[in-house]
Amino acid sequence: MPAPRFFVTGIGTEVGKTAVASVLVEALRADYWKPVQCGELEASDTHTIQGRVSFPVQCYPERYRLRALKSPHQAAAAEGVLIELSDFELPKTDNALIVEGAGGVLVPLNDSNTMLDLMKQLQLPVIIVTRNYLGSLNHTFLTVEVLRQRGIPIAGLVFNGPFDAELEPFVSRKTELPILFRMDTHAMLTLDIVKSYADSLRGTLFNDDNSIFAPSGQKPYLASVHPTSNCPGSSPHCAS
């Protein structure tokens, strides 16, 4: 069976894509690739992943490393660079692979293309990172809708941040997507915390061969992961 490969996107910026990518990389012992890095080049998402996992992860070089902490098309323009879709090619590996996008699905790469076009070109199932805040329903539903309009497969949702017992099942039902797992807000996401989440996914979300685990009767929740002590006891996501 081919090793799993996923593209991690979010409903916006700062929703926890890299946090979720860290857990997935650790759980699958996957390779990692960030095609476009904008800003924070000395503390990039690639560096963050390397510091959060328990093994020497294979991280592939970003195709574009841009200095400005702006949208890719703006950051590229500031350096006289034009981002071209034809410049992107998936790393050649037999291992599992996690690809992390920049911003949300409609973030511009250039005057014509967005992150959505890159997802379409790479042909990977997408994991959507969302969180609960005023306006997040609209952002989540729009993200799902535009991915479906372009025929891009969606593996499921990951909620990151404070738990909402009413909202999260509603989002899953409304989108007809599974909640793959959820994460708390952490002041600092350490290697031990990442490993705790990842360990909880093995045998619940992923089989021993790293394939997706989807037992009958367990949808829409394919995994119940919540390794922190302040999880509401009635939450279906809490680990026992």
Whether residue 224 is contained in a domain is answered as no
Distance CA 172, CA 220 (A): 7
Determine, yes or no, domain membership for 221: no
Per-residue pLDDT, averaged over 225-239, amounts to 32
Residue 99 in domain: yes
Identify the pLDDT of residue 235: 33
The edge-to-edge listing of strands for the beta sheet with 179-183 is: 59-60, 31-33, 97-100, 5-10, 126-130, 154-160, 179-183
Tell me the C-alpha distance between 113 and 76, whole Å: 13
Give CA 69 to chain center in angstroms: 20
- Exactly one of 17, 34, 92, 195 is catalytic; which is it? 34
> What residue has token string 């990977």?
124
* Confidence bin at 205 (pLDDT 50/70/90): confident
Angle between helices 115-122 and 136-149 (to 10 degrees): 50
pLDDT computed for residue 164 by the predictor: 95
Digit-coded pLDDT (tens) for 127-173 = 999 999 999 999 999 999 999 999 999 999 999 999 999 999 999 99
Segments forming the whole domain that contains residue 166: 5-201
Cα distances from 203 to residues 55, 175, 213, in angstroms, run 20, 25, 7
pLDDT tens-digit series, residues 1-54: 788 999 999 999 999 999 999 999 999 999 999 999 999 899 999 999 999 999
Average pLDDT, the chain: 88
For the chain, what is the domain count? 1
Q: Is residue 213 part of a domain?
A: no
Query: Residue written as tokens 């959505």?
Result: 116
Residue 112 has pLDDT above 60, yes or no: yes
- Region of 87 please: left (phi>0), alpha (psi -120 to 50) or beta: alpha
pLDDT for the residue numbered 202: 83
Active site residue 34: yes
Ramachandran area for residue 207 (φ above 0: left; ψ -120 to 50: alpha; else beta): beta
| pLDDT tier for residue 204 given thresholds of 50, 70 and 90 | confident
Tell me the chain's radius of gyration from C-alpha atoms: 17
Is 223 contained in some domain? Answer: no
Q: Is residue 206 part of a domain?
A: no
For residue 203, the model assigns a pLDDT of 74
Task: Say which range, 99-113, 137-151, 156-170, 213-227, has the weakest mean pLDDT.
Answer: 213-227
CATH code (residue 128): 3.40.50.300
- Give CA separation, 67 vs 21, 39, 40, 71, 79, in Å: 22, 5, 7, 11, 8
Give residue 206's pLDDT band: very low, low, confident or very high (50, 70, 90): confident
Asked if 72 and 109 count as a contact pair (C-beta separation under 8 A), the reply is yes
Residue 186 has pLDDT above 60, yes or no: yes
For residue 212, the model assigns a pLDDT of 66
- 36 domain residue, yes or no: yes
| Single-letter amino acid, residue 62 | E
Asked if residue 222 is part of any domain, the answer here is: no
